[in-house]
Amino acid sequence: MNRSTATSDPSLDVPATLELIAFWYNADPAIMHVGLCGAGEVGAKRAVGRMGDGDVGPYDAGRSFIASKVQLMDGITHMADSQENKYQTQCPRCDGKRSCDVLGEHEHNWDWTDGIHSQYGTDHHRLLRCRGCETIFYLLEQTNSEDWDGRYDPETGEEEIYLPVRATTFPTPDQPDTKPDWIWQLREVDVNLSTVMDEVYKACDHGLYVLAATGLRTAFDRATEVLRIDPALTFGEKLQELAKVGAVGEKEASSLEVLVNAGSAAAHRSWRPERGDLGILRAALEQFLYRSFVLKSTAEISARIPPKPKRAKTATP
């Protein structure tokens, strides 16, 4: 059933229908009229349009409590300001909620019924640009009639049912203890290297340590290719070449060798590193990548340092 068809039915007797729904949920019809969807008669029509003969209420599913008020979210409540064209949400790069420019959005209201049971929800798609870091990302906010919860109204103290908004962001928000902020700059260096590192962090966040260890080895392999090391060489030979050109020191080469061996063991011998071990291996690669691609060389900084002023010559008497 198309939800828009149900909402535009002019023959729907809203007051009578509200009394029927109020009886169903043991609530006051006056409260239902205002609180059912937060949108008056239009909201009531939408709610009734989702309910067919033989439909079952949430309490028939084994819920033990009786709510005195039913409040269903009609779409997404935190809409963007149409005048300023902005929306506040969690930025995947910044730490916390940020105001974002809405580059595009689309709301899809859907419902389904087989004549006995029904289900409905809202999918709100947005393409956003953070006003802080200017990162462009995708946000999907969804509600589903099967995903509902109970809460107390902060003003009346009454119990009510609502549909929580579930948000999905791409790229996913950074975990504070994993991805360093400078890792975003790798995309300007090499897209493939940046993509591999993104997947490594995602694997770490979800406890997929075998995949993360393998990804670290792949990221190192790609980094050496970006540094113009012959990709046909073995990992050991690549480390030797890096040492020859001064890209790594003796201790760093030793750490990277352990990283490569760990990735090979994970890929070929199903070895699973512990979380702490993976953190050490990841730190070794991060130091190599940061110094190789992000950190400005001391020679470049030296060229911008103003020279020391010369002393004025004093005339001898």
Residue 62 has pLDDT above 70, yes or no: no
The percent helix, strand, coil of the chain (3-state, each to 5) is 45, 20, 40
Residue 93 has pLDDT above 70, yes or no: yes
Distance CA 67, CA 236 (A): 68
| Burial of 162 (C-beta count, 10 Å sphere; 0-12/13-18/19+) | middle
For the ranges 55-69, 86-100, 265-279, the maximum mean pLDDT occurs at: 265-279
Residue 44 has pLDDT above 80, yes or no: no
66 or 291, which is more confident?
291
How, if at all, do strands 136-144 and 69-70 pair?
unpaired
What pLDDT was estimated at residue 127? 93
Residue 234 has pLDDT above 70, yes or no: yes
What pLDDT was estimated at residue 212? 93
Output the CATH code of domain 181-294.
1.20.120
Residue 197 has pLDDT above 60, yes or no: yes
Domain ranges for the chain: 3-70, 181-294
What pLDDT was estimated at residue 299? 66
What pLDDT was estimated at residue 175? 64
Segment 263-276 mean pLDDT: 91
| Strand stretches in the chain, DSSP E | 69-70, 86-90, 97-113, 118-130, 136-144, 149-152, 159-162, 166-170
What pLDDT was estimated at residue 128? 93
What pLDDT was estimated at residue 144? 93
Segment 263-288 mean pLDDT: 91
pLDDT in tens, 111-129: 999 999 999 999 999 999 9
